[in-house]
Structure 1
């Protein structure tokens, strides 16, 4: 279901989604009240698996409609669409806290509007990914047994890891929230995170994660000394690099060109960490499109570090973790909860990962 007061937006998104034969737009609504009326009138078996919900609409806006839609159809995944602005970022994070599963930022006219290929790829991937996650087992298509090769043996980091690094993209905010909520004990090293997100959104994501877990979380600052037991999130539109300065890990924010079409990107962070930590590094690659992090993970394992990949079943999009898994450089392929458990073990004693 598409819910947007703009007829142009509904038309553009309908056309984009129609390019994928697995997606069918079953309803279009002009505001939250219209969406709620249409949803509740549908037989339960025919309700959409995903609702794309605009946040700024007349009559009934998205934030007002969100809890009502969730109550009426708790198994439906709601992805909110918001303006690519600070106001839009604030509304988006409020929606995620209220039960939306994900978001798509609507590009401004100055940025090319909604006609860009990147927006379409993200839109299609999130709709398909969350539909798969919410599909009842009886309706799920049978899948072949996964084919990937684990590292020949569980990697053992030589000494306690100096840092934990996490990379994520599509579906990442929810995965990060689940992971951070499980990190309920002190860690003996800093945790650095790259989540593909626009500027402005990462500030609010850091605040969101800070409220969820017991470990303090903030956006990384240029020249900041990284402290054990804290989470540092790469700011939107800045690469996060880590350097060893006099025996301490220090963050450096960079304006270098995007890598894997992303800034921040996972690969430059991992390259810098390999040099700063001399291989004493544990990496977790979570849900996301593409293969950002693959090259960096090769460097990590080559230097003696260890890599964990999120499993396909719990990933909205098994692109980034799938690339690492299929390359045979992951020492384990796990759910988010099990990745958190491995991080806690590594953070406590630095032994087998």
Structure 2
């Protein structure tokens, strides 16, 4: 049976382009189109769709306002945003992900680009992933007033973390999560690792579902974490700076988009910029960020494999590798190569809390993983395994 798709976009041209792309694939069928969020919201209240393609900017009711209305009404849908890469467009897209959208695709700049086979393939591949993802929970999440940590708000549920929550509130909520028993799939064999050495670094890989998942990890790390954190999140150029700024607003630990050549320091999260690979190199006795323009790998740029492999020649005694939600297998090859030369301790997100159980499954099946944990426990395991108790 074909998956039923709703398109919500004020542009007649984009509705036509998206309809043509979607209906060209036997897996899908566009059953309705809407010209704004109000009409789109009416449709999802009346019918069930396998996925919704939602524009950000529309008159009458924007995509963000439609998601907010879904939150208020507890109406759920699998949503894929179509977004621009302008500064405000990137921020609005992250707002959408906070509100429950599963992922986004960068809108083509013109009709010629929209008809490009590469764009069509990316669009259809992502739409399929979104349509197969677990139904997200709608209800409870809100968006911040711009301005940072002082605009805090208390949340009643563990998974209601978003950019309106202050770092202190996150830390307080985190202490209430105790006694979790981690269920490991029977086909996954865990590896016991004895920590050694004092110089450690954390390296995180995430993809589909990652921006929302990271809001349940990074803000729970202490500001004085005695190690640096590298992070590859699969995102196009123009979006990672907004993600870094968003996370920095709610975290005690410093978060920024990595800058080519900057010194890597403890208590700092470095997010790989979209469109380049991020590596680590040693210069004059210190470790620094290095951009690389090598070809895409695993179909992505930045690619976590490059990040992990660059740590082989560095002076860190141990690398804490963390693999979060995402399609594909990025990170697995890099970690396997790294593990041949370095001490590694590998943490994978469990299937039940993943938007897409692809990357964590790939690394879990290698037999190298030491822990498989739900998303809410990832930060605690990172903190514990770098020596903070």
TM-score, length-normalised on structure 1? 0.84
Range 88-97 or range 269-278, more displaced: 88-97
Find the aligned partners of 1:37 and 1:118 in 2 and give their Cα distance. Answer: 28
In the TM superposition, what whole-angstrom CA distance separates every residue of 1:86-118 from its partner, at most 9, and x where no partner exists? 442132123334554432322323883264212
CA contact (8 A) 1:308 1:333 kept: yes
Pick one of 307, 325, 328 that aligns with 2:346: 307
**Equivalent residue runs for 1:165-244 within 5 Å:** 165-184=203-222, 186-244=224-282
Note if 1:70 corresponds to 2:109: no
Structure 1 match to 2:295: 257
Find the aligned partners of 1:39 and 1:118 in 2 and give their Cα distance. Answer: 25
Structure 2 match to 1:142: none
CA RMSD of aligned residues (A): 2.7
CA contact (8 A) 1:185 1:344 kept: no
Structure 2 match to 1:2: 7
Note if 1:28 corresponds to 2:33: yes
Question: Greater share of helix residues, 1 or 2?
Answer: 1
Structure 2 match to 1:128: 132
CA contact (8 A) 2:201 2:320 kept: yes
User: Unpaired segments of 5 or more residues in structure 2?
Assistant: 1-5, 139-183
Find the aligned partners of 2:10 and 2:101 in 1 and give their Cα distance. Answer: 19
Structure 1 match to 2:380: 341
Structure 1 match to 2:369: 330
Find the aligned partners of 2:108 and 2:231 in 1 and give their Cα distance. Answer: 24
In the TM superposition, what whole-angstrom CA distance separates every residue of 1:281-326 from its partner, at most 9, and x where no partner exists? 1000111111111111102322221111111111111111111111
Find the aligned partners of 2:112 and 2:360 in 1 and give their Cα distance. Answer: 29
In the TM superposition, what whole-angstrom CA distance separates every residue of 1:310-345 from its partner, at most 9, and x where no partner exists? 111111111111111112221111112222111011
For residues 150 and 120 of structure 1, do their structure 2 counterparts lie closer, same or farther at Cα, with a shift above 3 Å needed? same
Shift in Å at residue 349 of structure 1? Answer: 4.8
Shift in Å at residue 134 of structure 1? Answer: 5.1
Q: Secondary structure at the match of 1:348?
A: coil
Structure 2 match to 1:164: 202
Find the aligned partners of 2:356 and 2:232 in 1 and give their Cα distance. Answer: 16
Shift in Å at residue 242 of structure 1? Answer: 0.6
Find the aligned partners of 1:24 and 1:277 in 2 and give their Cα distance. Answer: 53
Find the aligned partners of 2:378 and 2:29 in 1 and give their Cα distance. Answer: 34
Find the aligned partners of 2:269 and 2:12 in 1 and give their Cα distance. Answer: 42
**Number of residues of Structure 1 aligned to a counterpart in Structure 2:** 334
User: Unpaired segments of 5 or more residues in structure 1?
Assistant: 136-144
Q: Secondary structure at the match of 1:90?
A: helix
For residues 349 and 97 of structure 1, do their structure 2 counterparts lie closer, same or farther at Cα, with a shift above 3 Å needed? closer
Q: Secondary structure at the match of 1:305?
A: strand
Shift in Å at residue 199 of structure 1? Answer: 0.9
CA contact (8 A) 1:17 1:124 kept: no
Find the aligned partners of 1:280 and 1:338 in 2 and give their Cα distance. Answer: 21
CA contact (8 A) 1:154 1:332 kept: no
Shift in Å at residue 36 of structure 1? Answer: 2.4
- Answer 1 or 2: higher relative contact order, Cα 8 Å, separation at least 6: 1
Find the aligned partners of 1:316 and 1:65 in 2 and give their Cα distance. Answer: 21
Pick one of 307, 325, 345 that aligns with 1:269: 307
Q: Secondary structure at the match of 1:112?
A: helix
In the TM superposition, what whole-angstrom CA distance separates every residue of 1:149-184 from its partner, at most 9, and x where no partner exists? 324x32223223521000111111011111112224
Find the aligned partners of 2:311 and 2:375 in 1 and give their Cα distance. Answer: 22
